[in-house]
Amino acid sequence: MSGTAVAESKPATGYETLALYIDGGFIGADGRKTEPVLNPASGEVLAQLPHAAREDLDRALAAAQRAFTTWSRTSPLERSAVLRKVAELARARADAIGRNITLDQGKPLAESVGEVNVCAEHAEWHAEECRRIYGRVIPPRRADVRQMVLREPVGVCVAFTPWNFPFNQAIRKMVAALGSGCTLVIKGPETAPSAVVALARLFHDAGLPAGCLNLVWGVPSQISEYLIKSPIVRKVSFTGSIPVGKQLAALAGAHMKRGTWELGGHSPVLVFDDANVEQAATTLARLKLRNAGQVCVSPSRFYVQSKIYDRFAARFIETIKSVNVGNGLEKGTQMGPLAHARRVDVMEAFVDDARSHGGEIVFGGARIKSPGNFFSPTVVTGLPDTAKLMTEEPFGPIAPLVPFTEPEDAVRRANSLPYGLSSYVFTESLKTATYAANALEAGMVNINHFGSALSETPFGGVKESGIGSEGGTETFDGYLVTKFVTQC
Ligand code: NAD
């Protein structure tokens, strides 16, 4: 059904058995505090998630510290074998894990299952790449001296992962930490926890020794503060919003902990007069609504050159209108609900602000009345650069379209915000593509397609969008320390 929600809700039979995972054991509530996990398509309670008590956190830290003494000395072949097995098991279980992601996160089933299958590759890539963590030999000044540079795992790591790609974001951190020889305590997203519990089961069943990976849940600020301050912890990895990233980075800095920060953005799109307009409009409209726009690299500010603006807008709006919104488990659904009720309020605030700035809501613009957190795909035109939609990441299914005349002006506007995660350029001109790729302040530039987030390519931002990369040959950099050895 186009633009309206499918109200049906499925029973939560077969949903993941939620648990903590500490020192090789899965632990249920057993008297601990719990919180309900909701289905965003219906509001039904799927299960209760146990919170870690203070003693659980201490046990997880101690287990990770103990396991580090042996895991850090394992052969890369041994670590590689575990990661390969994880990839194999992930593919075998992708349908079940994917269904649970749709239940607690809301995205269409094909996207959920696809997330698991594609991200199995991250385990394989790290299984291969961890065998190539090389040091180097530096020519000495004296013949009787040998100088070596060793790269060693940093130690016990902590990671905090978000709800938008619950499997993807967690497995990336797990395979990078474990592949490098580090051990890990991770806190996943409490609102969409099934994928991270499933990941703990994958590693457990793949034969990862006890204590190498530990999973905890709770009040995010309390858990992160306690773990980051612990003297056992040597490194922090966080994916989430810029404000929370800044808070955690400040805490990590105060305790001199390394960090990898994958934060938000507000990805500019530059569509030039010489682009393949229909292909650009269709590709971008579909990409915009992937995961209901709750993607840190989602195209989110559309600057379109004036000669083709009307043609682009027409095809873009037509494609947006054609997208089926509904329960992610229903066949034919192309966009699910927003993950949380609060995100619907955020979308309404963006639309109100757009109206107050003279914007025209050319499609959508309102919640879809049904159970669940459904918001209509929305296109807004006629906004000034000062409107909230042009300056703050909507993290939802809203697209603002604005025209530009000069390429330099489009690049200046694209670079005018403090973010720099992803960016998009559509042009048939090699000269324009090269100009834009060089001029855009972004960690990733996609030209004429979307090609980021592969295992073998680095993913990360510049400016306030973060520090460090995940994936690519850069992937282990944040998990290794450099030791210089000079020997006479
Ligand atoms: P939020 O800032 O409240 O939370 C973002 C994530 O961080 C959540 O997963 C949350 O559990 C976690 N978190 C929050 N406080 C934390 C703390 N003190 N310690 C550890 N973890 C903590 O925002 P939200 O309303 O959940 O999400 C919306 C915003 O988050 C969006 O505007 C978007 O920019 C950002 N976000 C970014 C990504 C990403 O991939 N970069 C993913 C999810 C959300």
**Residue 59 C-alpha to ligand 1 middle, in angstroms?**
26
Atom of ligand 1 nearest to the CA of 346: 25
What residue owns the CA closest to ligand 1's atom 11?
Answer: 189
Instruction: List, run by run, the mean pLDDT of 10-residue segments along the chain (488 residues).
Output: 37 85 98 98 97 98 99 98 98 98 98 98 98 98 98 98 98 98 98 98 98 99 98 98 98 98 97 98 98 98 98 98 97 97 97 98 93 97 98 98 98 98 98 98 98 96 98 97 98
**Residue 244 C-alpha to ligand 1 middle, in angstroms?**
7
Alpha-carbon distance of 419 to 265, in angstroms, equals 5
Query: What is the model's pLDDT at position 385?
Result: 98
Query: Does 241 contact ligand 1 (Cβ within 6 A)?
Result: yes
**Residue 125 C-alpha to ligand 1 middle, in angstroms?**
27
What residue owns the CA closest to ligand 1's atom 18?
Answer: 221
Q: 328 to each of 104, 263, 340, 470, how far by Cα in Å?
A: 10, 26, 14, 28
Query: Does 193 contact ligand 1 (Cβ within 6 A)?
Result: no
Query: Does 164 contact ligand 1 (Cβ within 6 A)?
Result: yes
Atom of ligand 1 nearest to the CA of 243: 2
Query: Does 222 contact ligand 1 (Cβ within 6 A)?
Result: no
What residue owns the CA closest to ligand 1's atom 23?
Answer: 241
**Residue 335 C-alpha to ligand 1 middle, in angstroms?**
21
Residue ranges of domains in the chain: 3-263+466-487, 267-454
**Residue 404 C-alpha to ligand 1 middle, in angstroms?**
32
Alpha-carbon distance of 18 to 486, in angstroms, equals 50
Alpha-carbon distance of 171 to 52, in angstroms, equals 21
Query: Does 244 contact ligand 1 (Cβ within 6 A)?
Result: yes
Q: Please check whether residue 343 is in contact with residue 306, taking contact to mean a CB–CB distance below 8 angstroms.
A: no
What residue owns the CA closest to ligand 1's atom 22?
Answer: 220
Query: Does 160 contact ligand 1 (Cβ within 6 A)?
Result: yes
Q: Which of 158, 164, 236, 241 to mutate to test the pocket of ligand 1 (most atoms within 8 A of CB)?
A: 241
**Residue 240 C-alpha to ligand 1 middle, in angstroms?**
4
Query: What is the model's pLDDT at position 138?
Result: 98
What residue owns the CA closest to ligand 1's atom 44?
Answer: 240
Query: Does 459 contact ligand 1 (Cβ within 6 A)?
Result: no
Catalytic residues: 262, 296
Query: Does 350 contact ligand 1 (Cβ within 6 A)?
Result: no
pLDDT tens-digit series, residues 271-311: 999 999 999 999 999 999 999 999 999 999 999 999 999 99
Atom of ligand 1 nearest to the CA of 190: 11
Long-range contacts of 75-78 (CB under 8 A, 24+ apart): 76/130, 76/131, 76/133, 77/131
Atom of ligand 1 nearest to the CA of 421: 41
What number of other Cβ atoms are within 10 A of residue 242's Cβ?
21
**Residue 189 C-alpha to ligand 1 middle, in angstroms?**
9
Query: Does 236 contact ligand 1 (Cβ within 6 A)?
Result: no
Long-range contacts of 384-387 (CB under 8 A, 24+ apart): 384/357, 384/358, 385/413, 385/416, 386/357, 387/353, 387/354, 387/357, 387/359
Q: Which CATH class is domain 267-454?
A: alpha beta
**Residue 194 C-alpha to ligand 1 middle, in angstroms?**
17
Q: Which of 227, 239, 244, 257 to mutate to test the pocket of ligand 1 (most atoms within 8 A of CB)?
A: 244
Q: Which CATH class is domain 3-263+466-487?
A: alpha beta
Query: Does 155 contact ligand 1 (Cβ within 6 A)?
Result: no
Query: Does 263 contact ligand 1 (Cβ within 6 A)?
Result: yes
> Percent helix, strand, coil in the chain (nearest 5)?
40, 25, 35
**Exposure class string for 354-385: b at 16+ Cβ within 10 A, else e:** beebebebbbbbebbebbbbbbbbbbbbbbee
What residue owns the CA closest to ligand 1's atom 5?
Answer: 240
**Residue 191 C-alpha to ligand 1 middle, in angstroms?**
11
Query: What is the model's pLDDT at position 12?
Result: 64
**Residue 162 C-alpha to ligand 1 middle, in angstroms?**
6
